[in-house]
Amino acid sequence: MKKNFCISAVVGFITGLANGLFGSGGGTVVVPCMERFLGVGAHKAHATAIAIILPLSILSMLIYSRNYAVSWSDIISVSLGGVIGGFVGARLLKKVPAKWLHKIFGMFMIAAAVRMIL
């Protein structure tokens, strides 16, 4: 139990660090880490990532809006779309087999990596 808590805390720290630096981290870091290091199944890892994105994002948003003059109208409009997309995605999650969940997630990761390199 203690070992699992320590690993979870390290995964959480890395996830928060990635979120603060890059604006993402919930899915890109925590999902593979939870599956690999904590032995959590794909569906539970994705659902947990969705749940931890909110507190990470709120904290980052407050810091970014304070230091980088982020537009509140952009925050609100994108958040609204994100809430709707999050609802739809959460409803679809239980219908997607773990095998396909990994493939779809991997494609998004590869697309994001290619975009960042180019």
**9-25 confidence digits (pLDDT tens):** 998 888 888 877 777 66
40: DSSP letter: -
Percent of the chain with pLDDT over 90: 19
**CA distances in angstroms from 74 to 55, 66, 67, 79, 91, listed in the order given:** 19, 15, 16, 8, 26
Domain that holds residue 44: 2-117
Domain count of the chain?
1
Query: Looking at residue 26, what is its pLDDT?
Result: 65
| pTM, entire model | 0.70
Q: Would the pLDDT of 28 be above 90?
A: no
Cα(98)–Cα(63) distance, integer angstroms: 35
